Amino acid sequence: MNALISIIIPVKNGANYLEEALACIERQGMNVEVIVVDDGSEDATGALAEKHGCTVLRHERSCGPVAAKNTGLHAARGSYILFHDHDDRLRENALQTLYEALAEDESIAAVEAKVQDFFSPELTDAQRKEMALKAEPYFGLFTGAVLMRKAIFDRIGDFPATLQAGERIDWEYKMKQHGLKIRKLNFVSAERRVHTANFGRTRREQEFRDYAAILRARLGPKRS
């Protein structure tokens, strides 16, 4: 049996898509614990996760997905961490492929696969025309695509509490600072659902502000 993998799902009001995401995880057939961080939901998110045997951690008020990731990290018991969005889907055998690549090479701290966009079925033709969907698989998405050793957070620390988005850039920067290696794997591990309420769509301005703050923090020491 593989070592325990902690799959952390930060979610607010995600009952509409969560069950499909959990079903995909269950079909992986791996040794996992699924930690759903219910970030102030007002729907049945928490109850749905409990029905599927997940560990549910609740924020009484919404703190944002970055804080939710930290909450999940502090509770995780696994040696490996995978962050997963509640509206995305893991492809068959994806977790095993990620795990085997990481477990067999102690010199790397994380592995990263590709993601494929797909339109959520409820979208109208008009909505699909308005939304950008990448036709080809791509690197660069954190959740569902990156499996990492939990021990790396002992070196790089939590995600910054000041961020609401942009944690992927901060994480990569700290990994490079500490000389921790990430290996890219040329396969698709996850499918990213494109719909009207994607976080990147509804919080785009916040993402830009966070990216700018991260860039300033990186340039600051060099300027001084």
> What pTM did the predictor assign?
0.88
**pLDDT over threshold 70, residue 218:** no
Whether residue 223 is predicted with pLDDT greater than 60 in this model: the reply is: no
Identify which of 147, 144, 135, 139 has the alpha carbon closest to the alpha carbon of residue 192.
144
pLDDT in tens, 167-207: 888 999 999 999 999 999 999 999 999 988 765 544 445 55
- pLDDT band at 216, cuts 50/70/90? low
- Spell out the domain ranges in the chain: 5-223
CATH placement of domain 5-223: 3.90.550.10
**Average of pLDDT values for 120-129?**
91
Contact 30, 95 (CB under 8 A): yes
